[in-house]
Amino acid sequence: MNGAPQRPVVGFAWMVVTGLCFAAVTGIVKHVGQTLPAPQVVFLRYLLGLVFLIPMLPAMWRAGLGDRLAGTFVMRGVPHTLAALLWYFAMTKIPMAEVTAMNYLQPVYITLGAALFLGERLAARRLLAIVVALLGALLILRPGFREVSVGHVAMLTCTPLFAASYLMAKRLTDKVPPTVVVGWMSLVTAVGLAPFGLSVWERPDLVELGWLLVTAGFATMAHYTMMLAFRAAPISVTQPATFLTLIWSAGLGYLIFGESVDHLVMVGGAVIVAAVSYIAWRESKLRPR
């Protein structure tokens, strides 16, 4: 926290707002995905979201780009583009609550990736927490007891891809400001998604475009409020609040889309959040800053 006063209640509140924004994104994507192909939906979401890059343009211009740095931004855009495609595809195939619950595995993959590729130490307690999180994922999927659909496979694939993108972002923030990293990620991902979106193009109406613009706004707000949460309190304090996103996603799915609430999915999501929160708590003890 760099010596800044910690405000756990404020940090928790900002993370609650973040969860509401992400739940709104999930619900709108589910709605628009019923009338437009998933690749087109994700392409339009990032394309329309470029309007929110305008405040970042001065920082992106000042940072400049050498050949090596530009290559790193493009390389990061590859897993992020594929992950975004898979996430939006999964949203059209499985209930919102299952997408949200399986998305909680991202910090687990980030922890494993940091140990494998960044040389971070993976202590026994953190390894045990990872095993518990994976058991939570098994509660959600229950292979052999229920059908593991193509939507579940898409989520199992997209979460490590998102983790790879975030690990690259961690390296990039050592060289350029975070706003530059976010700006170039959005731009490169929009370009990468263009061939997929245009290959299945269907003419959207103004209502659909409006919904996708609102989605981009909610997504941008979610990332900003998450930054405010991390600034106000340690991640070990804010992480448990992410479970509320699962509750809201399940509620939206039940009330708006008629999706049944699978209690084992909720339990599995809670197990994953508890394990990830423990990892965050241990990290805060080892590295208080």
Q: Which residues of the chain have pLDDT under 70?
A: 1-5, 63-67, 235-236, 284-289
Distance of CA 155 to the CA centre of its chain: 11
- Both tokens of 246, joined, read 């699962």
Q: Reduce the DSSP state of residue 34 to 3 states and report it.
A: coil
Beta strands in 125-233 (DSSP E): none
Strand partners, 248: none
pLDDT of 1 reads: 43
Rounded Cα gap, residues 231 and 109, in angstroms: 23
Q: Where in the chain are the domains?
A: 8-286
Rounded Cα gap, residues 192 and 82, in angstroms: 9
| 18-32 pLDDT per residue, tens | 889 989 998 998 899
* Exposure string for 82-92, b = 16+ CB within 10 A, e = fewer: bbbbbbbbbbb
Number of H helices, E strands in the chain: 13, 0
pTM beyond 0.85:
no
- Both tokens of 86, joined, read 């898979």
| 186-200 pLDDT per residue, tens | 889 999 999 999 999
Rounded Cα gap, residues 277 and 103, in angstroms: 14
Residue 56: Cβ within 10 Å count: 19
